[in-house]
Structures are given as structure tokens and as C-alpha cells.
Amino acid sequence: MIESMMYSAKTLKDTRDNFTTITQSESLILKERVQHLREQMVDLYVTISSIIHDQSLDDEKVLLDNNLKAISTTNLESTELLGQHLHRQNMPGGELSALLHLTSSLNRSHNSLVQAIRELY
């Protein structure tokens, strides 16, 4: 459990430069995607907080699984949309790379954190 939590935290720390690159971008689609990733993260953390504060909340554990599924689904959808967007607009490679790395890293971090919570409860 502790290993999963540490991996989650390390993965998040490694994304700091990606957040900076994207927030400095002029691309509206990149900024909207980062905002969506932040909202997903907050929703997941709120659910985890509810589980930690009230271990008997089975509904919250179901919500946790639903949050994780939604994150995975939207990450796949956004990756496809970015591919389509590249055909229409010349997006700098560094910004696209930062977004793809950020999305992948956050997904791994969320999965590790959820695994740690499942092991804990």
C-alpha cells in the first residue's frame, strides 16, 4: 500500500514541468484539457477523502471505481481528439508531448492511489 502511494506521489511530482509547459501555451485546447485533468483529480481526491474519513461508505468505494473508469475513458477520448486536432492545426511538438506525458502520468498516479486505497480498506 505504501509503495503504491509513494509511486502515485512521485508520478505526480514528475508532471510539474508538463503542467508549466501547457499552462504557458497559447493553445486553448491544451489549456482546456489541463483544466479537465485538474477537475478529474479533484473529484478523485474528494472521493478518496470521503472513504478515509468514513470507512463504512460502500457507496463511496463504488464512486471511486466509477471515477477511475471515467478518468480512463476520457483520457482515451482526449488522446483521439488530439490526434484529430493535429491534422487541422500545427501544434508545437513539445506542448503535445507534455500533454500526452501529463495525461499518461496522471492516469498511472490515479491508478496507484486507488490501488493503495483498496489495499487499505
How high is the pLDDT of residue 119? 77
- Amino acid residing at 84: Q
Domain boundaries, the chain: 2-120
* C-alpha span between 105 and 93 (Å, rounded): 18
How high is the pLDDT of residue 2? 75
Q: Which residues contact 109 (CB under 8 A, 6 or more apart)?
A: 7, 8, 9, 11, 12, 15
How high is the pLDDT of residue 104? 82
Give the H or E element holding residue 12: helix 2-13
How high is the pLDDT of residue 85? 66
Consecutive 10-residue runs of the chain (121 residues): their mean pLDDT? 80 83 83 85 82 68 76 73 65 75 84 80 70
CATH of domain 2-120: 1.20.1440
How high is the pLDDT of residue 13? 82
pTM over 0.75: no
